[in-house]
Amino acid sequence: MEIWINPACSKCRSAISLLDAEGAEYTVRRYLEDVPSEDEIRDVLDRLGLQPWDITRTQEADAKELGLKEWARDAVSRDRWIRALAERPRLIQRPIITADDGTAVVGRTEEAVREALSRE
Protein backbone atom coordinates (compact mmCIF):
# COMPACT_ATOMS: atom_id res chain seq x y z
CA MET A 1 0.00 0.00 0.00
CA GLU A 2 1.21 3.48 -0.85
CA ILE A 3 -0.22 6.81 0.23
CA TRP A 4 0.36 10.04 -1.68
CA ILE A 5 0.43 12.90 0.81
CA ASN A 6 1.15 16.54 1.37
CA PRO A 7 2.38 16.68 5.00
CA ALA A 8 0.75 20.09 5.43
CA CYS A 9 -2.70 18.58 4.71
CA SER A 10 -4.86 17.70 7.72
CA LYS A 11 -6.73 14.98 5.76
CA CYS A 12 -3.37 13.37 4.92
CA ARG A 13 -2.27 13.45 8.54
CA SER A 14 -5.59 11.94 9.63
CA ALA A 15 -5.24 9.13 7.07
CA ILE A 16 -1.69 8.37 8.25
CA SER A 17 -2.86 8.31 11.88
CA LEU A 18 -5.61 5.83 11.03
CA LEU A 19 -3.24 3.61 9.01
CA ASP A 20 -0.80 3.64 11.94
CA ALA A 21 -3.55 2.89 14.46
CA GLU A 22 -4.61 -0.11 12.39
CA GLY A 23 -1.00 -1.33 12.07
CA ALA A 24 -1.08 -1.09 8.27
CA GLU A 25 2.09 -1.52 6.25
CA TYR A 26 2.47 1.30 3.75
CA THR A 27 4.94 3.60 2.09
CA VAL A 28 4.58 7.36 2.00
CA ARG A 29 5.02 9.34 -1.18
CA ARG A 30 5.32 13.08 -0.73
CA TYR A 31 3.95 13.75 -4.17
CA LEU A 32 4.88 17.44 -4.19
CA GLU A 33 8.55 16.42 -3.92
CA ASP A 34 8.40 13.05 -5.71
CA VAL A 35 6.10 14.20 -8.50
CA PRO A 36 4.16 11.44 -10.28
CA SER A 37 4.68 11.13 -14.02
CA GLU A 38 1.81 11.32 -16.48
CA ASP A 39 1.90 7.51 -16.75
CA GLU A 40 1.73 7.13 -12.96
CA ILE A 41 -1.24 9.48 -12.86
CA ARG A 42 -2.95 7.46 -15.61
CA ASP A 43 -2.33 4.27 -13.61
CA VAL A 44 -3.78 5.77 -10.43
CA LEU A 45 -6.80 7.08 -12.35
CA ASP A 46 -7.39 3.58 -13.74
CA ARG A 47 -7.10 2.13 -10.24
CA LEU A 48 -9.49 4.76 -8.88
CA GLY A 49 -11.93 4.35 -11.77
CA LEU A 50 -11.95 8.16 -12.12
CA GLN A 51 -11.07 10.83 -14.64
CA PRO A 52 -8.36 13.47 -14.04
CA TRP A 53 -10.89 16.22 -13.40
CA ASP A 54 -12.36 14.06 -10.61
CA ILE A 55 -9.09 14.28 -8.63
CA THR A 56 -8.25 17.90 -9.45
CA ARG A 57 -8.31 20.55 -6.75
CA THR A 58 -10.09 23.23 -8.76
CA GLN A 59 -9.96 25.84 -5.98
CA GLU A 60 -6.15 25.95 -5.96
CA ALA A 61 -4.46 29.11 -7.26
CA ASP A 62 -2.81 27.04 -10.02
CA ALA A 63 -6.23 25.82 -11.17
CA LYS A 64 -7.56 29.35 -11.33
CA GLU A 65 -4.44 30.51 -13.17
CA LEU A 66 -4.92 27.74 -15.77
CA GLY A 67 -8.66 28.36 -16.00
CA LEU A 68 -9.39 24.68 -15.30
CA LYS A 69 -13.07 25.28 -14.58
CA GLU A 70 -13.44 26.19 -18.26
CA TRP A 71 -11.57 23.13 -19.61
CA ALA A 72 -13.62 20.48 -21.38
CA ARG A 73 -14.16 17.28 -19.43
CA ASP A 74 -14.09 14.73 -22.22
CA ALA A 75 -11.88 12.02 -23.73
CA VAL A 76 -10.20 14.50 -26.08
CA SER A 77 -9.14 16.71 -23.14
CA ARG A 78 -8.09 13.90 -20.80
CA ASP A 79 -4.37 14.08 -21.64
CA ARG A 80 -4.37 17.86 -21.18
CA TRP A 81 -5.74 17.40 -17.65
CA ILE A 82 -3.19 14.67 -16.86
CA ARG A 83 -0.35 16.85 -18.13
CA ALA A 84 -1.54 19.70 -15.88
CA LEU A 85 -1.58 17.38 -12.85
CA ALA A 86 1.95 16.16 -13.60
CA GLU A 87 3.25 19.70 -14.14
CA ARG A 88 1.46 21.14 -11.11
CA PRO A 89 1.08 18.32 -8.56
CA ARG A 90 -0.47 20.68 -6.01
CA LEU A 91 -3.63 20.23 -8.10
CA ILE A 92 -3.88 16.52 -7.22
CA GLN A 93 -6.52 15.67 -4.62
CA ARG A 94 -5.06 14.06 -1.53
CA PRO A 95 -4.44 11.69 0.04
CA ILE A 96 -4.56 8.92 -2.54
CA ILE A 97 -4.07 5.40 -1.22
CA THR A 98 -3.17 2.60 -3.59
CA ALA A 99 -4.23 -0.75 -2.20
CA ASP A 100 -2.44 -4.05 -2.62
CA ASP A 101 -5.32 -5.49 -4.68
CA GLY A 102 -4.65 -3.03 -7.52
CA THR A 103 -7.36 -0.52 -6.60
CA ALA A 104 -7.04 2.92 -5.06
CA VAL A 105 -9.13 5.39 -3.06
CA VAL A 106 -9.04 9.09 -2.36
CA GLY A 107 -8.73 8.87 1.42
CA ARG A 108 -10.35 12.13 2.48
CA THR A 109 -12.68 10.39 4.95
CA GLU A 110 -12.17 7.75 7.60
CA GLU A 111 -14.55 5.49 5.65
CA ALA A 112 -12.41 5.77 2.50
CA VAL A 113 -9.23 4.96 4.43
CA ARG A 114 -10.93 1.95 6.02
CA GLU A 115 -12.05 0.84 2.56
CA ALA A 116 -8.40 0.86 1.43
CA LEU A 117 -7.45 -1.10 4.55
CA SER A 118 -10.07 -3.72 3.76
CA ARG A 119 -8.43 -4.30 0.36
CA GLU A 120 -5.00 -5.20 1.76
Q: Cα angle vertex 116, ends 114, 80, to 5°?
A: 130
Q: Please tell me which residue in 1, 9, 18, 50 is annotated as part of the active site.
A: 9
Do 98 and 2 form a contact (C-beta atoms < 8 A)?
yes
Return the SS3 of 51: coil
Active site residue 9: yes
Residues with active-site annotation: 9
